């Protein structure tokens, strides 16, 4: 199958590309390399086509994919606080993706976010009424609405994946935008803003990749939570990481307005529709991630 992966040199994208190549797909990666790297594609670079560019220029490339995974979207709320114009860029890129899908009768699986559940009752369900509270969530909700429009008007099938705190290999290049688990693993000292009681539903990238692949088989316009259904505090995560590597934690007041204090996915829909469930336990995922980055303590003989 001819598959386009936008953001394919990034964290989630490069893990997905490895899986797609492994099953024999003809993969093209489009990436502007803002948070992605060629090193992330080292294992498969001779078996894929890589195009450096922006999703806003996608229609000029004359690609003919049968399936599009759209992950090339600025992926962290602080990015949008620093540059609110990213909202327009994100939506423009999404429109290019959906127009390409319409032209080629291709399916689209795209990245959404669990951040939109701020203040919503737990566990967070896809049918909860959410309202945008910052630039980042406005962009993601707009994309979900546009996806429904493209299905209604043009029959474009899509699945928006509301990721819950994804961590794992290939995330080093994201730097300060990386998941808190990755940042704790890569640094000997980490600052928690607040008292550390804030929680996230931490999800290993391997489970996310499986969900993305399964979502590509659906017809319609869907939105799915991709999480574990379990929330874990930053303090608990720090203790898990301290079991595998040295880590010093310091605490400072949280300066962020509209901070998301807790997330926990309701995954009943994705289980029912995709027959998907997470398989990587947090303890195992932390250990594997530390080993990947060369930060884990040597095992006792």
- What pLDDT, on the 0 to 100 scale, is given for residue 96? 98
Interatomic CA distance for residues 248 and 252, integer angstroms: 14
Question: Where in the sequence is the domain holding 167, given as residue range(s)?
Answer: 2-172+203-229+264-278
In a domain, 242, yes or no: no
3-state class (DSSP) for residue 112: strand
Interatomic CA distance for residues 63 and 28, integer angstroms: 9
- Listed as own residue / partner, the contacts of 130-135 with beta carbons closer than 8 Å and 24 or more positions apart are 133/258, 134/77, 134/80, 134/81, 134/258, 135/77, 135/80, 135/81, 135/84, 135/86, 135/87
201 DSSP 8-state letter: -
In a domain, 34, yes or no: yes
Residues of the chain with pLDDT under 50: 300-301
Interatomic CA distance for residues 260 and 136, integer angstroms: 12
In a domain, 64, yes or no: yes
Alpha-helix runs per DSSP H in 243-295: 268-274, 282-292
In a domain, 237, yes or no: no
- What pLDDT, on the 0 to 100 scale, is given for residue 2? 98
Give the residue among 300, 271, 181, 174 at the shortest CA–CA distance from 232: 181
In a domain, 140, yes or no: yes
Q: Domain count of the chain?
A: 1
In a domain, 185, yes or no: no
Each residue of 128-163: pLDDT tens digit?
998 888 899 999 999 999 999 999 999 999 999 999
Domain at 103, CATH number: 3.40.50.720
In a domain, 83, yes or no: yes
- What pLDDT, on the 0 to 100 scale, is given for residue 297? 63
In a domain, 177, yes or no: no
- What pLDDT, on the 0 to 100 scale, is given for residue 133? 84
């Amino acid at each position: 199958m001819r598959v386009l992966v936008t953001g394919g040199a990034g964290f989630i994208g490069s893990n997905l590309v490895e899986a797609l190549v492994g099953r024999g797909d003809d993969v093209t990666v489009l990436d502007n390399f803002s948070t992605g790297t060629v090193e992330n594609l080292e294992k498969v670079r001779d078996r894929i086509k890589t195009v450096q560019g922006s999703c806003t220029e996608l229609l000029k490339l004359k690609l003919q994919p049968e399936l599009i995974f759209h992950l090339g979207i600025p992926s962290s709320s602080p990015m949008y606080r620093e540059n609110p114009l990213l909202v327009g860029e994100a939506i423009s890129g999404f429109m290019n993706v959906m127009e390409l899908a319409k032209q080629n009768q291709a399916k689209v699986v795209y990245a959404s976010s669990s951040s939109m559940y701020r203040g919503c009752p737990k566990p967070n369900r896809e049918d909860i009424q959410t309202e945008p509270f910052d630039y980042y969530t406005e962009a993601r909700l707009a994309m979900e609405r546009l996806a429904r429009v493209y299905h209604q008007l043009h029959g474009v099938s899509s699945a928006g994946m509301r990721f819950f705190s994804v961590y794992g290999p290939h995330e080093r290049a994201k730097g300060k935008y990386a998941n808190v688990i990755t940042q704790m693993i890569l640094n000997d000292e980490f600052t928690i803003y607040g008292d550390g009681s804030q929680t996230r539903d931490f999800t290993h990238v391997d489970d996310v990749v499986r969900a993305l692949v399964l979502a590509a088989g659906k017809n319609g316009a869907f939105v799915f939570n991709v999480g574990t259904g379990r929330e874990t505090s930053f303090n608990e995560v720090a203790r898990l990481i301290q079991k595998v590597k040295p880590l010093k934690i310091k605490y400072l007041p949280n300066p962020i307005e509209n901070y998301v204090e807790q997330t926990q996915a309701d995954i009943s829909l994705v289980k029912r529709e995709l027959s998907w469930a997470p398989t990587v336990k947090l303890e195992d995922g932390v250990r594997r991630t530390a080993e990947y980055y060369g930060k884990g303590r040597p095992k006792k003989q």
